[in-house]
């Protein structure tokens, strides 16, 4: 998707900062954000630029595949940099509380023999990491340490490999569920719900995760609070906003939609929507379902926005009554009225094909009024005898 592709492109910029530390851009950013550190070790700072905020967003992706390649070890920190040859790479694990936080990898190397100092490794490093460390070759020269990428043969980062990592290794539990075949079925059914299209669109957005809950905004580097604006929970997800937030949960409990403890509401948006679509009343066809749950979702979301943007707190019971009344009004207005079939053929009578006037129009003509014809012209009552006589071949002026 576009988000993952953008991350892969941003990771390319971060990769260049590590590969070309003496470039002009790297020197400018280093002077502002990581003067005595590395672009991979930067802690959150106040008031970063928009450029640095976006580049930093790709650090998680890059750390899944980047590894510090040891040559001399003078530039690599033992307990901070990703240099242990695993996938993903990580720092070494200390055998005890860290006594030397700034220890370099070069401190673990016997500089005379150019090999690993086993005694120091056993003294400081966990036994799990010692075989991995000893498998690393050490340069006989003082060559600077470099970085390599685990997901390409040549060890260089590419946008293609970064996109693969973003698609396959960065997905959390909710995003992985979105890739399942059943999710496509849920998204397709969202447009078949018997409800206004604006509500169908909102439900489709909930299933695709494209709604502005704080969790999604923070993930896209928007500056906002993490907490739920209604109940104050530390994080507001889609499931929390619609089903788990206390005011939303009260709406579901007061509504006519059947709830089942342990089944609905659940901690997964997809489980909840699957229940509402097909499982809440297994004996009822989805096409005949008149449950007000689409309107409940709509007004729960509106109440959340009213609280966030207008400071207005909506009563859950009032929301239920309003949603159910709107649902009933929509179904009443959506009822199909059978068309009235009328005879529309022409009948030949004493007027020789002239359509019969209604009683009202005849009365109007006798009073000297005028009647609108089909072509927009008017024929007065006094012209009708002449027209009839002409059709019969009689000239009334003879």
Q: Are residues 243 and 94 in the same domain?
A: no
How many angstroms separate the CA atoms of 89 and 65, rounded?
A: 7
Q: Could you tell me if residue 197 is inside a domain? A: yes
Domain that holds residue 248: 174-333
- Distance of CA 398 to CAs 130, 311, 392, 395, Å? 129, 89, 14, 6
Contacts with 236 (C-beta within 8 Å, 6 or more apart), sequence order: 213, 214, 215, 226, 227, 228, 229, 245
Whole-model pTM: value is 0.50
Give CA–CA dist 391/387, Å, rounded.
Answer: 6
Are residues 25 and 43 both part of a single domain?
yes
pLDDT digits (tens, 9 = 90+) for 31-79: 888 887 888 887 777 778 888 888 988 998 999 999 988 888 888 888 8
H or E segment and range at residue 298: helix 293-305
**Is residue 346 in a domain?**
no
Say if residues 84 and 91 touch (Cβ distance below 8 Å). yes
Domain membership of residue 338 (yes or no) is no
Q: What is the pLDDT of residues 66-104, one digit of tens each?
A: 998 888 888 888 888 899 988 888 899 888 787 788 889
How far apart (Å, rounded) are the C-alpha atoms in residues 68 and 166?
20
Cα distances from 167 to residues 26, 114, 172, in angstroms, run 28, 41, 11
Rg (CA), the chain: 38
* Count of domains observed in the chain: 3
pLDDT greater at residue 260 or residue 7:
7
- Same domain? For 40 and 78 the reply is yes
The answer to whether position 347 is within a domain reads no
Mean pLDDT to the nearest integer, 345-363: 49
**Cα→Cα distances 222→53, 194, 245, 308, Å:** 10, 35, 22, 16
């Amino acid at each position: 998707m576009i988000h993952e592709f953008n991350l892969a492109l941003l990771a390319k910029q971060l990769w260049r900062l590590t590969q070309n530390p003496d470039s002009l851009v790297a020197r400018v950013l280093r002077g502002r954000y990581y003067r005595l550190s590395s672009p991979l070790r930067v802690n959150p700072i106040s008031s970063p630029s928009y450029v640095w905020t976006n580049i930093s967003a790709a650090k998680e992706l890059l750390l899944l595949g980047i590894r510090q390649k040891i040559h001399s070890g003078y530039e690599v920190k033992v307990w901070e940099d990703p240099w242990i040859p695993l996938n993903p790479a990580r720092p070494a694990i200390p055998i005890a509380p860290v006594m030397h936080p700034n220890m370099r990898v070069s401190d673990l190397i016997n500089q005379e023999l150019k090999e690993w100092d086993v005694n120091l490794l056993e003294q400081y490093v966990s036994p799990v990491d010692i075989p991995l460390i000893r498998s690393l070759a050490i340069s006989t020269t003082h060559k600077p340490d470099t970085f390599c990428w685990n997901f390409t043969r040549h060890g260089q980062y590419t946008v293609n490999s970064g996109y693969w990592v973003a698609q396959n290794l960065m997905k959390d539990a909710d995003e992985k569920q979105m890739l399942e075949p059943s999710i496509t079925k849920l998204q397709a059914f969202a447009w078949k719900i018997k409800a206004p299209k604006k509500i169908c669109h909102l439900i489709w957005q909930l299933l695709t995760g494209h709604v502005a809950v704080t969790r999604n905004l923070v993930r896209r580097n928007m500056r906002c609070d993490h907490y739920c604006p209604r109940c104050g929970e530390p994080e507001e997800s889609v499931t929390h906003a619609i089903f788990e937030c206390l005011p939303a949960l009260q709406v579901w409990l007061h509504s006519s939609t059947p709830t089942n403890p342990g089944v609905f509401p659940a901690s997964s948006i997809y489980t909840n929507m699957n229940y509402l679509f097909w499982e809440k009343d297994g004996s009822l066809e989805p096409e005949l379902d008149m449950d007000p749950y689409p309107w409940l979702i709509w007004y729960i979301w509106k109440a959340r926005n009213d609280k966030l943007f207008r400071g207005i707190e909506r009563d859950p019971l009032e929301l239920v009554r309003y949603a159910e009344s709107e649902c009933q009004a929509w179904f009443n207005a959506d009822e199909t009225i059978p068309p009235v079939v009328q005879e529309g053929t022409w009948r030949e009578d004493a007027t020789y094909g002239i359509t019969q006037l209604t009683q009202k129009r005849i009365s109007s003509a006798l009073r000297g009024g005028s009647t609108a014809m089909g072509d927009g012209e008017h024929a007065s009552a006094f012209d009708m005898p002449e027209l009839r006589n002409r059709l019969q071949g009689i000239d009334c002026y003879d």
